[in-house]
Chains A and B, each alone.
Chain A
């Protein structure tokens, strides 16, 4: 009887985020797994009940910090449904461009952290370098690298600067060339293949039962992508493929995320072409004054309660880089939302840890947890 429970975390170089993975091991073999989260629980849902609809946006960026635009988009779609408002079309295309660029940046961050766990050091630098190019694009029109606060109920905050689309196209061309290098670095490396092939297998049936979505589900062969199955915003008018792989192991998840990045580049190119040819407003013109148009006066006037505003409930589901995220916003006629509830994909992916961790060795934990693509800010909210 040499079994013991081992704590990997909350301070551990491998766990990307603040959580504790308790493993029950017998020597090197994993017998049971109990992930412990909550070390970053900041009560975002409770704080949001004291904030205006546009002030909750700042919390959404920090909720999932590697995919800020995706969570902003998700919350904004639900709020607009609850408040019975709709954005102009140019704003919707801008939001989709933000979300797809954010998908590339999030997958590059995943890539940079994942390969370090495997043991490859230089792809970390390449991934961060290319991610910085995208963050420079974000900085040029929002002003920030990570926490943008760019989307508003009824549209987005401001339009793109001049010359942005040309710069973005240059970045997309560069990325297309670099993805070839990434594949050569990883798939051509015996260390990578030896550490990743056949690990962390989770079948599609188990995924559906445990609520796992996103690249983990698509790596098991199931072609489910909310952008294709339940198109939101302007995805119905865009042309892209859904990335699917067989094998359900860590290498399959790597392949799915690489392909998703290529498809995102394709989507961004289409959106840039549309944006070049369709100028227009980026914020709806008939917004209620208490909601805070960009130039709402400060002080007591800005917080006037609007009586008799119709109540509503909004639900939105998006395909976030980590999986399917959902928001449920309850509007009871006041200037603050009555309740906001979010569903995080990594929450479900982590809760299914028993299915893909038991039976492997302790040394297999970094590749498997890296392939789950963990961002603890959205698990704990």
Chain B
């Protein structure tokens, strides 16, 4: 399906919760939505549009806000779509997608642990990759790694 069809199908059901659908190379599109009633969007995407498979949930820390993205796959159209939402940096919460797609369980555990995004009503939100009781969220931009002592070249990054 094309991004326009995706946009049409979603707007008719969700209205103003949808911010927009952008084109994305090789995909049905990238859906930007508001995080308030995320479960409705997830249910619509799974049942009405046929994206029954959730492949990946990831988080990105843009320093002034955070982004969560869900990559879903449709078996009928053989297409991926990305659902992405922005969360405020001081209160990054979103509803857990586990009631809709069971595969979200471990992915959300990892995203919480690394990028500090709270998933409400997650059945089992505990550490997955780091030891129990690890107090930091390593993939935040504010968490700096030690540079190796041998590297003398002056690096610049964005």
Note whether A and B contact each other (Cβ less than 8 A): yes
Interface residues, chain A, with chain B CB atoms under 8 Å away: 37-38, 41, 43, 45-47, 49-50, 81, 208-211, 213, 224, 229-230, 299-300, 303, 305, 313-315, 317, 324, 326, 328, 330, 332-336, 338-339, 341, 343, 347-348, 351-352, 380-381
CA distance A334 to B56 in the complex (A): 25
- Give the Cβ gap from A24 to chain B, nearest Cβ, in Å: 15
Please determine whether A224 and B157 come into contact, CB atoms closer than 8 angstroms: no
Please determine whether B24 and A315 come into contact, CB atoms closer than 8 angstroms: yes
Which of A38, A81, A305, A330 interacts with B131 by CB under 8 Å?
A: A38
Please determine whether A211 and B78 come into contact, CB atoms closer than 8 angstroms: no
What residues on B are CB-neighbors of A343 within 8 Å?
55-56, 71
Q: Total interface residues on B, using CB and 8 Å?
A: 42
CA distance A352 to B54 in the complex (A): 13
Please determine whether A230 and B145 come into contact, CB atoms closer than 8 angstroms: no
Q: A38-B127, A211-B103 are in contact. List 19 more A-B contacts (CB 8 A).
A: A47-B145, A50-B145, A50-B147, A81-B25, A208-B52, A211-B101, A224-B75, A230-B80, A299-B153, A315-B27, A335-B156, A335-B157, A336-B158, A338-B60, A348-B55, A348-B106, A352-B102, A352-B103, A381-B129
What residues on A are CB-neighbors of B129 within 8 Å?
37-38, 41, 380-381
Q: Does B105 contact A (CB under 8 A)?
A: yes
Assuming the contacts A211-B103, A315-B24, asked whether A326 and B128 have C-beta atoms less than 8 A apart, the reply is no
- Can you give 17 contacting A-B residue pairs, CB < 8 Å? A37-B128, A38-B131, A46-B138, A49-B157, A50-B147, A211-B55, A303-B154, A303-B156, A313-B24, A315-B82, A317-B55, A333-B158, A338-B60, A341-B60, A348-B103, A352-B102, A380-B129
Assuming the contacts A41-B130, A209-B102, A333-B158, asked whether A328 and B138 have C-beta atoms less than 8 A apart, the reply is no
CA distance A330 to B158 in the complex (A): 12
Q: Does B26 contact A (CB under 8 A)?
A: yes
- Give the Cβ gap from A85 to chain B, nearest Cβ, in Å: 13
Q: Does B34 contact A (CB under 8 A)?
A: no
CA distance A324 to B147 in the complex (A): 34
Please determine whether A351 and B78 come into contact, CB atoms closer than 8 angstroms: no
Chain A residue nearest to B139 (CB atoms) is A46
Chain B residue nearest to A205 (CB atoms) is B52
CA distance A352 to B105 in the complex (A): 10
CA distance A333 to B102 in the complex (A): 36
Q: Does B58 contact A (CB under 8 A)?
A: yes
What residues on A are CB-neighbors of B24 within 8 Å?
313, 315
